[in-house]
Structure 1
Amino acid sequence: MEENKKSGLKLNGAPWYIALGCILIILASAYLGVLGTDMASVLALCVAIAVIFNEIGERLPIWNSYIGGGLLMVFFGTAVLVQFNLIPEKYVEGINTFISGDTGFLTFFIIFLIAGSILSLERDILLKSFAGYIPAILGGLVCAMLFGVVTGFVFGIRPSDILIKYVLPIMGGGNGAGAVPLSQIYEEVTGDPAANYYAFAIIILTIANIICILAGALLNKLGTVKTEWTGDKRNLLRNNAGLAREDKKVQTGVKDMAGAMMVALTCYAVGRLFSKVILPTIFGASIHQFAYMIIFVVILAATGIIPANICAGAKRLQSFMTGACSIIIMVGMGCDFDLMELVSACTPANVIIALMVVVGAILGSAVVGYLVGFYPIDSAVTAGLCMANRGGNGDIAVLGAADRMELIAYAQLSSRLGGGIVLIVASFMFSFML
């Protein structure tokens, strides 16, 4: 604190006058049309937008404590800019391509978060965490169904319609891994066009995603009040120290980080091999590459094959990506979010039913998580909210709002393996309820 006072206000780690000068130059280049749409240009624009909104979100009263702070302000602020055409269209397209399109910076970001979060855990903590995680997911799913059905009675909606039109899309693992395959299963079983199911599913999912992000921020605030309900925000298990690699004070250098990068990217390649060639489906449900990657990284960590210096390097890579790149990712999330789609879908019935489904996911995963030895807040964020949000993008937004980005491996399990479970359940529901 004393050092900050001496050095003055800083923005994104730089003195305010340097940061402000950089932002003005970048924005001037963009609005004069001379900034390109290559990776470096897009990254520069993302940084300029992110630093402004992040600073506002961190300083704005109420918002910084209860709504989600800087990261969530970057998300919503960027969405507002896009909605009012304040970012030139070519740059919006460039950002979308860079973050979640062909360039795939979001994938790159997630790879290192997964590797670092798993390889930094003690072996016994790792095995206990993943052994208890599926029950926590199922607890959230069952309670989401129960809360949804009970709320449906209030609005005169049949339980079968609540389960099929509301619960399955919300808990299905997002858009590409959830709503899209759900609509395909719907068409195969009923013969009705997939678009008829998808049009409503994506609306409900969008509403639930926003609720999940706000709930993540509120759960984070709750954790500051009920400290016994949460841990260090890095692992789920109660009464465990967590990050063994840091505790052992393993020294790392550039070569260790390079080795960790090679291991992480190789694990991703293994995930691609299994999801595309070796075992793309299980019981008819498609398994995502990140789900297989997580399983493979867990195997490597559990067997102790990876040396301690590489594990520590993976942790440093994860810390860099979380600290330096999270706000950039949130700009991409905001560019890809349609505010008007959300506004048009916000009928009282849709909002209340989606809210209660999310509440059910929170409570179910928190209670079951506690019973299997997890901190209830961390279990609710990962096994609950990250089941009910909009997949990979939603995971980043929820974890950012909840200040638990280092739990990304669990969040991805919810979106990928949890989403796969929902697809299997959906196959039976569509067959017997329609």
Structure 2
Amino acid sequence: MSLPSPSDTSHSQPRLQKWWHFFDSWKVGIIPLPIFALAGVLIVVDAVEGSFPSNIVVMTAVLAFCGFACGEIGHRLPLLGKMGAAAICATFIPSALVYYGLLPDPMVKSVTQFFKSSNILYLYICCIIVGSIMSMNRKVLIQGFIRIFIPMACGEVVGMLLGTGLGMALGLDAFHTFFFIVLPIMAGGVGEGAIPLSIGYASILHMQQGVAFGQILPMVMLGSLIAIITAGVLNLLGKRYPHLTGEGRLLPDDSKDGSTNLNEAPPSQFDVSTVASGALLAILLYMIGMLAQQFTGLPAPVAMLFVAVLLKLSQVLSPKMLEGSGMVYHFFRSAVTYPVLFAVGVAITPWQSLMSAFTVVNLLVIMATVLSLIGTGFIVGRKMGMYPIDVAIVSCCQSGQGGTGDVAILTSGNRMVLMPFAQIATRIGGAINVSVALLLLNHFMG
């Protein structure tokens, strides 16, 4: 067997260079086009055979292919692509495909089973939260947590008043407008908001929980959709008026403590052990949050958030460990966001519920509620010396669909680093709203 001559090698090198350039340059999301095509072929083969195992190997391929494909469609839409359409498409295209029977049933069942059994959403959220907290400036971190409650509270009051007032002006009953349209938007999503509300309504108003939940859920979903679009618009506004945004920071940051800007590229040096330690830190902190939930009732992501803040402020973690958390953040933000949103769309986003809320009156009331909440956050945040666009994007999360809404909203607004504040807005803010509303309802009906 003879070896290729040097001339043969020199002739083949340009062809290889062109192929490698094509391989590295043409991508769908982060996936090289040839790999993306291979994944599509294998998924079609599984669809024809009717076998979609719900194990992590197959589901990784399915979610990556479908999630980045839907995200790419949104990115390429004229104008809308710059307004958060990628997050919307990654969430709502699969929901519509499921409703109209355009996805194979075995795929839908496997994705749903994997999403619910693996808790991948919570893994995603905990890695994003820990990574963003560990990369923040310590002083700005604590100031941000203290100050963010003021624009949040002001926004909720204004949103409730204007939303209910507009509903009454359009001929709706004030009671129905407030308790079944406005309040569900700010209740913190489905699991922490719509379900507890429906249980409370069923008990106090003597109605079936399913009926109450069916009236509440569409408002939650439509409010989240409007918030996603608004976050994309705010991101565009920040690019046009840079002085209004900190690109993921709520407050001007004049001091340096080794923190990094997570909207910038990750460090070029890649240390596997550092990244692995950062990922394990996020997982262990979430486990601590789960234990705290059993004793305090505080949602696990929020309890984990407070523990992460304490670790950051105490400076017990080394700079290398903090860097590892930042690398984990970058990985999950770039590689896992659209696959997770696709799984959310398939597993827990009922298309028919969203469509049932599309009446003119509902749309006007929901838009007035969400936009007044966000606008108040913008104005109050600016008056307090905070970056108004970033405060407004956190305010968007007050009307989001829980943790899934936070992911979609912050992806649309390109501000994933604000996830800790988003969790405060949705979970703590939502829990307060639900508790106060049920107490008021029980008082007036009792």
**TM-score between the two structures when normalised by the length of structure 2:** 0.87
Matching residue of 1:134: 149
1:373 maps to what in 2?
385
Q: Match for residue 359 of structure 1?
A: 371
**Counterpart residue type for residue 286 of structure 2:** Y
User: After superposition, where does 1:62-77 map in structure 2 within 5 Å?
Assistant: 62-66=79-83, 68-77=84-93
* Residue in 2 that maps onto 1:265: 283
Q: 2-side partners of 1:190 and 1:15: how far apart? A: 55
Query: Which string of whole-angstrom CA distances, capped at 9 and with x for unpartnered residues, describes residues 160-185 of structure 1?
Result: 43222222211010111011112223
2:214 is aligned with 1:214: no
Residue 194 of structure 1 and its aligned partner are, at CA, apart by 3.3
2:399 counterpart of 1:388: yes
Task: Name the structure 2 match of 1:284.
Answer: none
Q: Is it true that 1:254 corresponds to 2:269 in the alignment? A: no
Deviation at 1:242, TM superposition (A): 8.3
Task: Tell me whether 21-30 or 308-317 shows the greater mean CA deviation.
Answer: 21-30
Deviations 1:113-172 (A, max 9, x none): 000010111110111111112212212211111211221221223434322222221101
Q: What corresponds to 2:186 in structure 1? A: 171
Identify which of 94, 118, 134 aligns with 2:110.
94
Give the Cα separation in 2 of the matches to 1:239 and 1:57: 33
Match of residue 301, structure 1, among 288, 294, 312: 312
- Unaligned 5+ segments in structure 2 are 1-19
Alignment check: 8 A CA contact 1:251 1:309 kept: no
- What is the aligned counterpart of 1:228 among 222, 234, 243? 243
Please list, as runs of the form range in 1=range in 2, the aligned pairs for 1:330-369 lying within 5 A after superposition.
Answer: 330-335=341-346, 336-369=348-381
Maintained 8 Å contact 1:146/1:360: no
Which is worse superposed, 236-245 or 115-124?
Answer: 236-245
**Counterpart secondary structure, 1:407:** helix
In 1, are the aligned partners of 2:50 and 2:106 still within 8 Å (CA)?
Answer: no
Contact preservation (8 Å) 2:370, 2:399: yes
Name 2:126's counterpart in structure 1: 111
Sequence identity percentage: 26
Indicate how the Cα distance of structure 1 residues 179 and 51 shifts in structure 2: closer, same or farther if over 3 A, else same.
closer
Q: Which amino acid aligns with 1:413?
A: I
* Residue of 220, 231, 236 corresponding to 1:205: 220
Q: Give distance in 1, aligned partners of 2:330 and 2:401.
A: 24
Amino acid in structure 1 at the alignment position of 2:98 = V
| Superposed CA offset, 1:227-263 (max 9, x none) | 2221222x21135578943379796622222222232
Is 2:245 aligned against 1:245?
A: no
Residues 191-224 of structure 1 deviation map (CA, whole Å, 9 limit, x = unaligned): 4443343221112112212111211222222222
Contact 1:208 1:355 in 2 (8 A): yes
Distance 1:192 1:244 in 2: 55
What is the alpha-carbon root mean square deviation over aligned residues? 2.5
Number of corresponding residues: 421
Q: Structure 1: which amino acid aligns with 2:149?
A: I
Q: For residue 64 of structure 1, what is the amino acid of its counterpart? A: G
Q: Are 2:216 and 1:185 aligned?
A: no
Tell me the SS of whatever aligns to 2:148: helix
Q: Which residue of 2 aligns with 1:283?
A: none
Q: What is the rounded CA distance, in whole Å, between the counterparts of 1:98 and 1:88 in structure 2? A: 16
Residue type of the partner of 1:390?
Q
Cα displacement (A) at 1:31: 3.3
Q: Would you say the 8 A contact 1:250–1:308 is kept in 2?
A: no
From the superposition, tell whether residues 387 and 321 of structure 1 become closer, same or farther in structure 2 (CA, over 3 Å): same
Residue pairs, 1:146-161, within 5 angstroms: 146-161=161-176
Counterpart in 2 of 1:314?
325
Q: Does 1:414 align with 2:402?
A: no
Q: Distance in 1 between matches of 2:94 and 2:23?
A: 32
* Distance apart, 1:389 and its partner CA: 1.4
Structure 1 position 54 matched with structure 2 position 94: no
Q: Which runs of 5+ in 1 are unaligned?
A: 281-286
Q: Distance in 2 between matches of 1:14 and 1:392?
A: 26
